[in-house]
Structure 1
Amino acid sequence: MPSMYDRIREDLINKEQALWTALTSADPAPAIKKLCNPEGNLMFPQMPEILTLEDESHFNEALRPPFHRFDGYQLDEVRVIIIDLMAGAVTYKVRAVRGKKEYRATCSTTWGQGSDGEWTLFSHSETLQ
């Protein structure tokens, strides 16, 4: 039987993959909203403002298609840091491609688990490599 920490690591890696599946989809905003805590922040390269759910129309506009639209992505050097049983961070490098265009970034996402057991995103940031 896997340990509690192994299950947390697996949950957080699955959530990170769900985030990137959403980020690289044709219309990312609805899926990303579902992953976010109401207090969540998202910071992307070359985007001057920090995205929050406070202004839903701005959030939707900032993530409008074709935001981060890629044909595929790969997470490398994934590291899960368990802060406690209800919080953790995932750090990694991402490589995403669209045709011949390549996107590389170093990323970090902090997740928290609510009383309902659901993990939600508190902070996500990407730094171009």
Structure 2
Amino acid sequence: MPSIHERIREDLLSCEQDLWTAITSANPAPAVKKLCLPEANLIFPQMPILTVEGNPSLNDGLQPPFHRFDSYRLNQVRVIVVNLTAGIVTYQIEAARGGQAYNATSSSTWSQGADGEWRMACHQETI
């Protein structure tokens, strides 16, 4: 049986995959919002900091075709288990749309609520 830390790592990796599936979808804002804490921050290159309900909001900043990639891959993935209800995932992202490549360093901080669901507190990409 895997240790609790291994299960947390697996959960956080799954959450990060869910995030990238949402980010690269045709209409990312609703799916990304479901993954976020109400006070979450999303920090993307050359954009203002996005918040769930602030100005600018996720709905404003993640308008299609935001991050619409044909493919993506997470490399050099590291999961840091902060405690039983918090963790950070860091990685290199390689993505492509047509012939154009997107490469960035990224991290997401996740928090597990009383309901057992993991929600994102902060996501950041740096190119």
Structure 1: state its 5+ residue gaps.
Answer: none
1:120 equivalent to 2:116? Answer no
CA deviation digits over 1:42-72, x for unaligned, max 9?
000010x210012387321210000000011
Opposite residue 104 of structure 1, the aligned amino acid is: N
Q: CA deviation at 1:39?
A: 1.0
- Structure 1 runs (4+) deviating above 6 angstroms are none
**Does the residue aligned with 2:88 lie in a helix, a strand or coil?**
strand
User: Which residue in the other structure is 2:19 paired with?
Assistant: 19
**Does the residue aligned with 2:30 lie in a helix, a strand or coil?**
helix
Give the TM-score normalised by structure 1: 0.95
Give the TM-score normalised by structure 2: 0.97
Within-5 A mapping of 1:41-80: 41-47=41-47, 49-55=48-54, 58-80=57-79
Q: CA deviation at 1:126?
A: 0.1
User: Which residue in the other structure is 1:91 paired with?
Assistant: 90
**Does the residue aligned with 1:121 lie in a helix, a strand or coil?**
strand
User: Which residue in the other structure is 1:107 paired with?
Assistant: 106
Q: CA RMSD in A?
A: 1.1
Q: Share of identical aligned residues, percent?
A: 61
Structure 2: state its 5+ residue gaps.
Answer: none
Equivalent pairs counted in the alignment come to 127
C-alpha separation in 1, matches of 2:111 and 2:57: 24
